[in-house]
Each structure stands twice: as C-alpha cells, then as structure tokens.
Amino acid sequence: MINRVDHGSGADHVAVLQLAHGPVNAMDQELCEALAEQFRALETDPARAVVVTGTGRAFSAGVDLKRILDEGAPYVERFLPALSAAFGALFQLSKPVVAAVNGHAIAGGCVLAACADVTLMAEGSGRIGVPEARVGPPFPRLAIEVLRHAVGDVAARRLMVGALTYTPADAQALGLVDRVLPADELLGQAVTTARALATEVPSDTFALTKAQLRRDALERTARYADEDEAVATLWSRRAADGWTARYLESVTRR
C-alpha cells in the first residue's frame, strides 16, 4: 500500500514514501488511514525530510469513486474523516516535505501533493487539478484550505470552480507545481530538494516557520468544522442520485 525507501543517514536522511495501492493509487479509507499513520509517525522518525510519490502513471487519481457508489452513506461517514486526517497529518508534518508527482494527481491526489512544502511534477501526459465540482460532491474544508495555502485565494477559486485538470506546464504557471522535470530526474531531484530543506535551515526554525505559515488555514478549518455534516450529506446524495456515477461513466468512455 505504501512503500518506504530511505536515502542517506543523519542530517542527510530522507524518507521516500511511494504510494502503491492499485493501478492509480485511488484514495480509499484504508489508504487514507495508512497515510495518516505514516505521516504522524514521521514526526519522531530519524528521517530529517520526506518525499511522497506514486507509482506507474499516477501519483493518485483521487478518491475511489466506485467504492463510494458501491457502499454509499455508511462508507462516506467513515471515509471522509479518514481523508481529512490524511491531509491534516501531511499538512502539519513539521519536517520538510516534497511531493514528486510522477503522473496524474487528480482531486484528492492534487490536494495531497499541495500539502507538501515543494511540489515537483514530471513532464509528460500527467494531469493535475481538482475537478471535484464536476464529480458532484464538495471538498472537505481542510482540502479547500490546503489549496488556498498552496496557490492563494484567486487561483484556488479558479481551480475549484473551474473544476479542470492541467498539464504540468500550466500547473506550474498557476503555482500549483513549483518545477517541472524530466520523468527520469524527478525522484532524484525530489530527494535532493528535500535534503537541502533539511540541512540548509535549522530544523526547529523550519518547523516553526512552517507552522506559522499554515496556522491561518488550520484555524479556519477548525472554525468551520460545522460544515462536515453538510459535506457528508452531499457526498452521499451524489452517490445516490446518479450524478457521480454519470461522471465516472463519462471519464471511463474517454
């Protein structure tokens, strides 16, 4: 489900976490729970920095919509807290985090990448973005705040309301991706970037600065926790009224 490879030791120690969960790393309850557990454990892990990447043609194609359709409201009630917990554990990880986006990063996969301090993406046919509004359900509050933190209010609005996906170059222009690299250089550059963040700034200074930068996003998430019930209701409604099923069918036909 999640493979780990360690690079270096001591101050140069970088942990690489590779999602390996089905053909496109679709985010289901089990993967989200495993991600949250791994990210929390990294707080006290010897690794000084973290790289998150995917396998094959996908970083993560987002939420497992088939599971939502098959299991309905009872699953949604378990899944959404697990999804937010995975985002929250990565977004709040005090160590440097680099996302190495090796392919498609769609919806929840895009948000996961945006949780990082630096997001690198491979050249090629991979797409990144948040078409959630077209899928039907709304994002949990934390996902919105992660995107606002990553790209600013105006770009976040355009991303979420436009509900499109973007090429690596276009994503870089939007600020969603920091650098676009040849695919065969992506992981090596991600490790190098993570190591530089860990060794060129004192770790306690980095941790506090990161917390300061993300404090407003986390405070807003807590302030609007009363949205959770409405979000879950609309996820269940879209699974029941056919909207999400029609979206999934349209994507499958492409």
What are the residue numbers of the active site? 132
Amino acid sitting at position 110? C
DSSP code for 16: E
What is the Cα–Cα distance from 113 to 98, expressed in whole angstroms?
A: 8
